[in-house]
Chain A
Amino acid sequence: MLRSISSSWKQFSKSKLGIVGLVIILIFVFMAVAAPILSPYDPQASFIAPMFTPPNSKHLLGTDDVGRDVLSQIIYGSRISIMVGLLAAAVGTLLGTIIGLVSGYFGGIVDDILMRITDIFLIIPFIPLAIMFALYVGPNIWNVVLIFGFLGWPPAARQIRSLTLSLKEAQFIEAARAIGAGNLRIVFRHILPNTTGVIIANVVSRTVFAILAEAGLAFLGASDPRNISWGMMIFYAMRSGAILYGAWWTYIPAGFCVALLACGFAFLGHGITLVLNPRLRGR
Chain B
Amino acid sequence: MLEVVHLSKYFIMRRGLLQYLRREEPKCIRAVDDVSFKIDKGEIVGLVGESGSGKTTLARLILRLLEPTSGKIFFEGQDILSLSNDEMKEIRKKMQIVFQDPYGALNPRMTIQKILEEPLEVHSLYSPKERIDIIKKMLKSVGLNPPELFLDKYPHELSGGQRQRVVISRALILNPSFMVMDEPVSLLDATVRTQILDLILRLKEEFNLTYLFITHDLALARYICNRILVMYRGRIVEMGETEQLISEPLHPYTKMLISAVPVPNPSIKISLPPRASEFVDVFTYQGCRFCARCPEATQLCQREEPPLISLEGGRSVACWKYK
Does A30 sit within 8 A of B, measured CB to CB? no
Of B85, B109, B122, which contacts A194 at CB under 8 A? Answer: B109
- Report the minimum CB–CB distance from B288 to chain A (whole Å): 32
Q: Given the known A-B contacts A3-B154, A171-B105, A194-B108, are A176 and B118 also in contact in the complex, defined by CB atoms under 8 Å? A: yes
B96 near A179: Cβ-Cβ < 8 Å: yes
Q: Mark B83-119, 1 if CB is under 8 A from A, else 0.
A: 0010011001100110111001111111000000011
Does A190 sit within 8 A of B, measured CB to CB? yes
- Using a CB-CB cutoff of 8 Å, which residues 115-136 of chain B contact chain A? 118-119, 122-123
Chain B interface bracket (under 10, 10 to 19, 20 to 34, 35 or more): 20 to 34
A216 to B135, CA, bound (A): 57
Does B63 sit within 8 A of A, measured CB to CB? yes
Determine chain A's interface SS by DSSP, over half rule. helix
Does B251 sit within 8 A of A, measured CB to CB? no
- Report the minimum CB–CB distance from A190 to chain B (whole Å): 5
A178 near B96: Cβ-Cβ < 8 Å: yes
Given contacts A179-B96, A179-B119, A180-B93, list 10 more A-B pairs with CB under 8 A: A171-B100, A175-B99, A175-B170, A176-B107, A178-B63, A178-B65, A178-B97, A179-B123, A180-B92, A193-B109
Does A181 sit within 8 A of B, measured CB to CB? yes
Interface size, chain A (Cβ < 8 Å): 19
A179 near B107: Cβ-Cβ < 8 Å: no
Q: Given the known A-B contacts A4-B154, A179-B119, A180-B122, are A190 and B65 also in contact in the complex, defined by CB atoms under 8 Å? A: no
- Using a CB-CB cutoff of 8 Å, which residues 21-77 of chain B contact chain A? 60, 63, 65
- Report the minimum CB–CB distance from A267 to chain B (whole Å): 27
A170 to B110, CA, bound (A): 14
A193 to B174, CA, bound (A): 25
Does B142 sit within 8 A of A, measured CB to CB? no
Does A9 sit within 8 A of B, measured CB to CB? no
Which residue of the partner chain B has the closest CB to A174?
Answer: B65
A175 to B123, CA, bound (A): 15
Q: Given the known A-B contacts A179-B92, A180-B92, A180-B122, are A174 and B107 also in contact in the complex, defined by CB atoms under 8 Å? A: no
- Using a CB-CB cutoff of 8 Å, which residues 184-217 of chain A contact chain B? 185, 189-190, 193-194
Chain A residues, CB < 8 A from B109? 4, 193-194
A171 near B104: Cβ-Cβ < 8 Å: yes
Which residue of the partner chain B has the closest CB to A185?
Answer: B122
Chain A residues, CB < 8 A from B122? 179-182, 185
A194 to B107, CA, bound (A): 8
- Report the minimum CB–CB distance from A94 to chain B (whole Å): 19
Does A47 sit within 8 A of B, measured CB to CB? no
A172 near B92: Cβ-Cβ < 8 Å: no
Which residue of the partner chain B has the closest CB to A196?
Answer: B109
B105 near A172: Cβ-Cβ < 8 Å: yes
Does B229 sit within 8 A of A, measured CB to CB? no
Does A14 sit within 8 A of B, measured CB to CB? no
What are 15 A-to-B residue pairs whose CB atoms are below 8 Å? A3-B157, A4-B109, A171-B104, A171-B105, A172-B107, A174-B60, A174-B105, A175-B167, A178-B96, A179-B119, A180-B88, A181-B118, A181-B122, A182-B85, A182-B122
A222 to B154, CA, bound (A): 50
- Among all A-B residue pairs, the 3 with the closest Cβ atoms: A180-B92, A171-B104, A179-B119
A174 to B98, CA, bound (A): 10
A172 to B156, CA, bound (A): 14
- Using a CB-CB cutoff of 8 Å, which residues 254-291 of chain B contact chain A? none
Q: Given the known A-B contacts A180-B93, A193-B109, A194-B109, are A174 and B118 also in contact in the complex, defined by CB atoms under 8 Å? A: no
A172 near B104: Cβ-Cβ < 8 Å: yes
Chain B residues, CB < 8 A from A281? none
Does A16 sit within 8 A of B, measured CB to CB? no
Q: Given the known A-B contacts A171-B104, A175-B167, A190-B107, are A180 and B89 also in contact in the complex, defined by CB atoms under 8 Å? A: yes
A174 to B92, CA, bound (A): 12
